Amino acid sequence: MSLNNKPVALITGASSGFGMRTAERLHTQGWIVYAAARRVERMATLSQRGIRTLAMDVSSEKSIKEGVKTILQEEGRIDALLNNAGFGSYGGVEDVPIETIHYQFDVNLFGAARVIRAVLPTMRKQNSGRIVNTASVVAHISTAGIGWYAATKHALSAMTDALRQELSGTGIHVSQIEPGVVRTGFEEVAITTLKAVHHQKEYQDVMDGVADGTRRMYKNAPGPESTVKAMVHALTAKKPKSVYKTTWDSRWLPLVRRLIGGKLYDKISLRTMRKSA
């Protein structure tokens, strides 16, 4: 418990979507919540509700250390971490600039690793803690146009599995959240980055299909409630699950991919994209 006898949580990527809603939910359950994001002004509504807000850039070691230091000075402990910061940058494998690929890994994978390393010494001293990483259904499947984003989530999933095993017996539980397509505003950033990439003419029809198909999928997608519910459970339950698949597509698409095999999966995916274009 904290100095105020309440559990303390750090949530990254809390300026919108899953992170913001989970911060609100934990706060209503009596937690002391530190909501972190690069832009503090986007978390004004959280601050008004009594939720602490931190300026934290997960691509900056200094920023993370300063944020964690603030929490420890004010509360004396950290009971849970939700690694939710991340973004999707879409585009063809050949055409996305290397600098963009590096930055996407720096946020989605290395950013999560930096925050984990910053909180683990405290959790190990406490002999307790929760670490929850936000992955995706694309930790298991990938399609044209999302290769680099999916690669970051594949890598995050592999790291999460290893960390869970390494922390076995320490009192620190590690879970992974795997949403599929969910309406959170994520798609607008992804489509914008896709449109900004100059693609080779051989790929353009498929990439146009990716953009149009993504827009349609997200238009008909469920809201964030089931994923937020899973995040709260992973952070608070006595016996959290290792993996939470929070939407129908995250539960079934990887299974379908394995059952039909790679060639048929490729054929169906490409046909769907070209039809969308």
Tokens of 178: 């795997």
* Residue partners of 77: CB distance under 8 A and separation at least 6: 1, 2, 8, 122, 126
- What is the rounded CA–CA span in Å between residue 14 and residue 30? 18
- Of 128, 127, 131, 152, the C-alpha closest to 142 is 152
Across the chain, mean pLDDT equals 92
Share of the chain above pLDDT 90, in %: 77
Number of continuous H segments (helices) and E segments (strands) in the chain: 11, 7
> How does pLDDT run across 165-215, given as a tens digit for each residue?
999 999 999 999 999 989 877 777 778 888 888 888 888 888 888 888 788
Tokens of 109: 């994978």
- What is the rounded CA–CA span in Å between residue 235 and residue 7? 10
Tokens of 253: 């698409």
pLDDT of amino acid 1: 45
Confidence bin at 8 (pLDDT 50/70/90): very high
Neighbouring C-beta atoms of residue 212, cutoff 10 Å:
15
- Amino acid letter, residue 48: Q
- Amino acid letter, residue 244: Y
- What is the rounded CA–CA span in Å between residue 207 and residue 39? 31
H/E segment holding residue 176:
strand 172-178
Return the residue matching tokens 């994923």.
227
Task: Report in angstroms the alpha-carbon separations of 155 from 67, 92, 195, 260, 271.
Answer: 25, 19, 25, 24, 28
> How does pLDDT run across 72-131, given as a tens digit for each residue?
999 999 999 999 999 888 999 999 999 999 999 999 999 999 999 999 999 999 999 999
* Residue partners of 24: CB distance under 8 A and separation at least 6: 46, 49, 51
- Amino acid letter, residue 214: T
* 149 noted as active-site residue: yes
> How does pLDDT run across 212-250, given as a tens digit for each residue?
878 888 888 888 999 999 999 999 999 999 999 999 999
- Which of 149, 203, 218, 244 is the catalytic position? 149
- What is the rounded CA–CA span in Å between residue 87 and residue 84? 10
Distance from the Cα of residue 6 to its chain's centroid:
25
Is 151 a residue whose pLDDT tops 60?
yes
- What is the rounded CA–CA span in Å between residue 93 and residue 106? 17
Is 3 a residue whose pLDDT tops 70?
no
Q: Are 142 and 113 in contact (CB under 8 A)?
A: no
Structural domains in the chain plus CATH codes = 8-199+223-256 (3.40.50.720)
pTM score above 0.85: yes
pLDDT of amino acid 88: 86
